[in-house]
Amino acid sequence: MKPQYASPMRSDTVLGASVNSFGELVVVIGVEALATAAQCHPDYVDVEGNPGPLRVISPTVFARQVALELDHEDEAGDTIMHRALDQAVEAAISGGAQGVELDEAMLSFGGMP
């Protein structure tokens, strides 16, 4: 199921994450902000950080393609979003996240079954 957002976003909304009133973790970025991020990607700028060969000519079309890649499943059924969420969960726990309990004894015996 694709997420439905309660309020419209602006196309220049910068990348961000929050928990909304529906109890959902929502990650958002406006299509213009995504286009800027793509054009500033390290692979597409020169050594001084100046814009390079990539120019996003249709931010909405490009954003749809990026969304498809975010949802694309690899052979194991994982997506880029799954891997990003796994990394964020690990970083939050390693950073002392509130709202969780971690049984260190279970970790020392090889983790969860």
Domain hosting residue 76, numbered range: 16-108
Q: Is residue 11 part of a domain?
A: no
Report CA 21 to chain centroid distance, whole Å. 20
Whether 10 is covered by a domain: the verdict is: no
Phi and psi angles of residue 15, each rounded to the nearest 5 degrees, phi first: -55, 130
Q: Is residue 2 part of a domain?
A: no
pLDDT, tens digit, for every residue of 5-30?
A: 445 567 888 899 999 999 999 999 99
**Backbone angles phi and psi of 28, in degrees to 5:** -135, 150
Q: What is the pLDDT of residue 113?
A: 47
Is 4 a member of any domain?
no
Query: How many distinct structural domains can be found in the chain?
Result: 1
Asked if residue 64 belongs to a domain, the reply is: yes
Residue-wise pLDDT for 52-65, tens only, equals: 789 999 999 999 99
Rounded Cα gap, residues 97 and 66, in angstroms: 30
Q: Is pLDDT above 90 for 104? A: no
Q: What is the pLDDT of residue 109?
A: 59
Tokens of 35: 């286009």
Domain membership flag for residue 3:
no
- Selection from 37-46, 58-67, 93-102 with the highest mean pLDDT: 58-67
